[in-house]
């Protein structure tokens, strides 16, 4: 499916213009660094599975990847543990609860339900095969860079801010350990998970990361095969549909129909398999934890380009 390049740039520019003035939402404040980011920043980008890049606004500003990191670590852990084992150990269902819910973990016998909530993401990190924390971290950072097509880096400022306030996640990690669903030292998994959230990307990087998923694991800019086994891609996209926007995932699927993933740094990503990825960044979040402008901009671009995974009629033409 080919989309006219002028139509993509028009959709990106229009979405940026239409939502620049939206002033709803608030920056995340439970991580002190995130509260300090300029709330007026707003970037939008599309990268196609063929490697064309379209952007508007602050699309080259570096922001914290946060929860969006979960999908890339999921690819590593699925590769190392195998699809079936990964599914058995981490689960794949929507939780219906906030991304940091302790209740959800307890209700399920101290086990995670999805790799895209904090509990499941820490269990995911613990399943990445490595000799200790540093090797595990190196694998995660290298994978993020390969998806983005450029080596991105840890922000010490963001990481310090998170590591000094992540007591809630540490509690979740110990709960998983007590339930036998943590596969490395729990504090090591929490530490590495916190680091993977504290790396910086631009909106263009994020769209490239999504386009790599859209292109079945081949980075369309570098042509590197980033996901060794293309069979890992459908479960990644399925899980994004189930839990990518937390308790708003169903609403997003109903209205937009594209696998998506958000982060409390203000990043927002949606993927149209085989075609392209749409990314946006803007720090103010809705109460669920999704970027207000990001959600609206990505949804608007998807609609303008007639992209909805469930709309079979359009893709058979
Ligand atoms: N680092 C954040 C946390 O663990 C990421 C959460 C998110 O982006 N939803 O709470």
Segment (H or E) for 55: strand 53-57
User: Please, what sign has the CA dihedral across residues 183, 214, 286, 158?
Assistant: positive
> pLDDT above 90 covers what percent of the chain?
97
Residue 108 belongs to a domain? yes
* Ligand 1 mutation target, pool 99, 164, 195, most atoms within 8 A of CB: 99
Task: Note whether 129 and 189 are same-domain residues.
Answer: yes
Task: Note whether 107 and 251 are same-domain residues.
Answer: no
Annotate 73-99 with b (16+ C-beta within 10 A) or e (fewer).
bbbbbbbebeeeebeebbbbebbebbb
Task: Note whether 190 and 205 are same-domain residues.
Answer: no
Residue at which a domain ends, from 196, 225, 255: 196
* Calpha distance 137→58 (Å, rounded): 29
pLDDT in tens, 146-205: 999 999 999 999 999 999 999 999 999 999 999 999 999 999 999 999 999 999 999 999
11 and 305 in contact (C-beta within 8 Å)?
A: yes
Task: Note whether 103 and 192 are same-domain residues.
Answer: yes
Contacts of residue 21, Cβ cutoff 8 Å, sequence gap at least 6: none
Annotate 101-139 with b (16+ C-beta within 10 A) or e (fewer).
beebbeebebbbbbbbbbbbbbbbbbbbebeebeebbeb
Residue 316 belongs to a domain? no
For ligand 1, residues with CB inside 6 Å are: 66-67, 99-100, 118, 162, 169, 197, 263-264, 289
CA–centroid distance, residue 288 to ligand 1 (Å):
12
User: Please, what sign has the CA dihedral across residues 113, 287, 252, 226?
Assistant: negative
* Ligand 1 mutation target, pool 118, 192, 267, most atoms within 8 A of CB: 118
Residue 313 belongs to a domain? no
Q: Give residue 94's region: left, alpha or beta (phi > 0; psi -120 to 50).
A: beta
Task: Note whether 115 and 96 are same-domain residues.
Answer: yes
Q: Domain total for the chain?
A: 2
Which residue's CA is minimally distant from atom 6 of ligand 1?
67
CA–centroid distance, residue 149 to ligand 1 (Å):
23
Q: In this model, does residue 312 exceed pLDDT 90? A: no
- Cβ count near 187 (within 10 Å): 14
Which residue's CA is minimally distant from atom 4 of ligand 1?
118
CA–centroid distance, residue 305 to ligand 1 (Å):
30
CA–centroid distance, residue 264 to ligand 1 (Å):
6
* Calpha distance 123→115 (Å, rounded): 8
CA–centroid distance, residue 18 to ligand 1 (Å):
28
Task: Note whether 23 and 169 are same-domain residues.
Answer: no
User: Please, what sign has the CA dihedral across residues 170, 99, 37, 287?
Assistant: negative
Q: In this model, does residue 219 exceed pLDDT 80? A: yes
| Mean pLDDT across the chain | 96
Residue 317 belongs to a domain? no
Task: Note whether 178 and 219 are same-domain residues.
Answer: no
Task: Note whether 13 and 116 are same-domain residues.
Answer: no
Q: Could you list the residue range(s) of the whole structural domain that residue 170 is in?
A: 69-150+157-196
On whether the pTM is more than 0.85, the answer is: yes
Residue 236, pLDDT score: 98
| CA-67 nearest atom, ligand 1 | 8
CA–centroid distance, residue 3 to ligand 1 (Å):
34
Residue at which a domain ends, from 170, 196, 222: 196
**Dihedral of the CA atoms 97, 111, 83, 114 (nearest 10)?**
10
pLDDT in tens, 126-156: 999 999 999 999 999 999 999 999 999 999 9
CA–centroid distance, residue 301 to ligand 1 (Å):
26
Residue 145 belongs to a domain? yes
For residue 186, CA distances in Å to 21, 46, 115, 132, 168 come to 43, 37, 16, 12, 13
CA–centroid distance, residue 67 to ligand 1 (Å):
5
182 and 261 in contact (C-beta within 8 Å)?
A: no
| CA-289 nearest atom, ligand 1 | 9
Q: In this model, does residue 317 exceed pLDDT 70? A: no
Task: Note whether 221 and 180 are same-domain residues.
Answer: no
* Calpha distance 243→114 (Å, rounded): 7
Q: What pLDDT band is residue 212 in, cutting at 50, 70 and 90?
A: very high
Residue 309 belongs to a domain? no
13 and 45 in contact (C-beta within 8 Å)?
A: no
197 φ, ψ to 5°?
-80, -20
Q: In this model, does residue 303 exceed pLDDT 80? A: yes
CA–centroid distance, residue 7 to ligand 1 (Å):
34
Contacts of residue 65, Cβ cutoff 8 Å, sequence gap at least 6: 144, 152, 196, 197, 198, 199, 200, 201, 206, 263, 265, 267
* Ligand 1 mutation target, pool 29, 37, 66, 295, most atoms within 8 A of CB: 66
Residue 314, pLDDT score: 54
Residue 211 belongs to a domain? yes
User: What CATH number did the domain enclosing 258 receive?
Assistant: 3.40.710.10
Task: Note whether 216 and 138 are same-domain residues.
Answer: no
Task: Note whether 188 and 210 are same-domain residues.
Answer: no
Q: In this model, does residue 255 exceed pLDDT 60? A: yes
Residue 310 belongs to a domain? no
Task: Note whether 9 and 39 are same-domain residues.
Answer: yes
């Amino acid at each position: 499916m080919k989309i006219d390049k002028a139509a993509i740039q028009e959709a990106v520019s229009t979405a940026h213009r239409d939502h620049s003035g939206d002033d709803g939402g608030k920056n995340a404040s439970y991580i002190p660094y995130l509260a300090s980011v300029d709330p007026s920043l707003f970037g939008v980008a599309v990268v196609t599975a063929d490697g064309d890049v379209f952007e508007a606004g602050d699309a080259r500003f570096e922001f914290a990847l946060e929860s969006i990191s979960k999908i890339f670590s999921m690819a590593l852990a699925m590769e190392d543990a195998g699809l079936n084992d990964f599914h058995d150990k981490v689960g794949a269902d929507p939780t219906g609860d906030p991304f940091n819910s302790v209740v959800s973990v307890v209700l399920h016998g101290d086990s995670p339900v999805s790799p895209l909530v904090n509990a499941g993401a820490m269990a995911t990190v613990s399943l990445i095969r490595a000799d200790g924390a540093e090797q595990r971290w190196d694998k995660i950072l290298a994978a993020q860079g390969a998806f983005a097509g450029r080596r991105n880096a840890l922000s010490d400022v963001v990481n310090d801010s998170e590591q000094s306030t992540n007591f809630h996640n540490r509690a979740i990690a110990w709960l998983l350990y007590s339930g036998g669903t943590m596969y490395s030292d729990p504090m090591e998994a929490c530490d590495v998970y916190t680091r993977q959230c504290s790396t910086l990307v631009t909106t263009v990087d994020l769209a490239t990361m999504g386009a790599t998923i859209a292109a079945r694991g081949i980075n369309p800019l570098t042509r590197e095969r980033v996901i060794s086994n293309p069979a890992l891609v459908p479960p990644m996209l399925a899980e994004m549909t189930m839990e990518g926007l937390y308790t708003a995932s169903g609403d997003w699927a109903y209205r937009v129909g594209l696998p998506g993933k958000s982060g409390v740094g203000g990043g927002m990503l949606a993927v149209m398999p085989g075609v392209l990825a749409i990314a946006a960044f803007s720090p103010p979040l809705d109460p669920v934890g999704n970027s207000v402008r990001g959600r609206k901009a990505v949804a608007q671009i998807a609609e303008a380009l007639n992209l909805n995974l469930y709309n079979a009629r359009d893709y058979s033409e």
